[in-house]
Chains A and B, each alone.
Chain A
């Protein structure tokens, strides 16, 4: 399972966010260019309709495919009160035939995306990953070079951390407290709960750009 929150930021403030993240995490960013294929089961296949994602980071020297299944969110009154979404997520590396196999099994391509941006991986109470990316739609089959932004001028920020049933409360706390540091630039919330851009972003970005993000927290 994983803990996840998302937010959006205007592209003009991404550089400031990068400076802030660099200062907070103390690690270098990693570029990413992720080709994501979302597959859906044929209408007659499966007791319920199912969805699986094939993901490949084209920025890696030897790109490899990952099969990812994102399951339902944790439910219940306790889960409602958390500011972070806790959901099942299982990944498996796969050889190059993953798409052919799923086509043969009766899955159809629903849509494909190209995420371009960067990420930071670090440990701060939990193994946290912050991903900042522009989400692009792929107009023609597999034509990633012709990808166009879904929301021009806006980038998606995602904070995730792996968790297990016996430690997710600690992970939620770690993710929540990390998100507070980003609050002047963007607001992070559970996926699907849109909170828009924050009004203080421009001022916070200007401040960060002027002192170069040298302040460590």
Chain B
């Protein structure tokens, strides 16, 4: 499976994300001769424990996430980032979780946008919004280098691509930048050969960053 980097938009201090920034980013991909290749959507769900006694809620993980991704339509992923656990399961795991009545969905976020082909790279740009509203909470970008499936061997070329991308984007003078934080996949028991579980771990990492960004933005406003 080709290696993918998941990047997130980090707004400059005092700024938030909006549709205009999203449009400028999309135009930028097109200026690099990106060819539109359809739409994509991933859905990330936060789960919270159902407890009989609220005072015991702290015993259970607060960062339990579920993820569905378009490249694996029959699979579902669970991540508990605090304990470095990722699990790949079938879609039916969602109905098992519903039947168990031990965790329930708190909120779901849609990551959706347009997919582009740029030679050997596949790029996806998407907005992050709660499933029940259109309010944009963030922007993500996936960059996939199709010929290589080794995380280590693809690092240099992906790094070079992201450098060119950032340089191109800098000409737009947008209030923020894309960041890539590579999780330590080994801590999750994942090897150098890229799998969709690596993608799930990256989404959990990006999510933590987006939450931190939203919280700091609110902190500035307050």
Contacts and interface: CB of A to CB of B under 8 A. Distances in A.
A44 B53 contact: yes
Contact of B99 (A45, A69, A94, A96): A69
Interface residues of A, number: 29
Given A45-B49, A45-B60, A105 B90 contact: no
A166 to B, nearest CB: 18
Contacts of A48: 101
Interface string A58-99: 000000000101010000000000000000101111111110
A47 interface: yes
B: interface residue count bin: 20 to 34
A192 interface: no
Contacts of B89: 67, 92-95, 98
Interface string B46-57: 000111110010
A33 to B, nearest CB: 23
Interface stretch (B5-13, B78-86, B114-122, B171-179): B78-86
B102 A95 contact: no
A98 B59 contact: no
B14 to A, nearest CB: 38
B96 A47 contact: no
B103 interface: yes
Contacts of A69: 96, 99-100
A45 B92 contact: no
A45 B102 contact: yes
A67 B96 CA distance: 9
A151 interface: no
A50 B93 contact: no
A41 interface: yes
A97 to B, nearest CB: 5
A141 interface: no
Given A94-B87, A101-B85, A44 B100 contact: no
A74 to B, nearest CB: 15
A44 B87 contact: no
A108 B197 CA distance: 25
Contacts of A95: 86-89, 197
Nearest to A51: B100
Interface in B19-66: 49-53, 56, 59-61, 64
B87 A97 contact: yes
B53 to A, nearest CB: 5
Contact of A50 (B53, B61, B91, B100): B100
A50 B80 contact: no
Contacts of B49: 45, 105-106
A140 interface: no
B95 A90 contact: yes
A86 to B, nearest CB: 16
Contacts of B85: 97, 100-101, 104
A47 B50 contact: yes
Interface string B195-206: 001000000000
A200 interface: no
Interface of A: 41-48, 50, 52, 67, 69, 71, 88, 90-98, 100-101, 104-107
8 contacts: A45-B49, A45-B51, A90-B95, A92-B93, A94-B87, A94-B89, A105-B102, A107-B102
Q: Which 10 A-B pairs have the closest CB atoms?
A: A46-B102, A92-B90, A44-B56, A92-B93, A50-B100, A95-B88, A92-B92, A94-B89, A69-B96, A92-B89
Given A45-B49, A46-B101, 9 more contacts: A44-B59, A46-B52, A71-B99, A94-B89, A94-B90, A98-B89, A105-B61, A105-B64, A106-B59
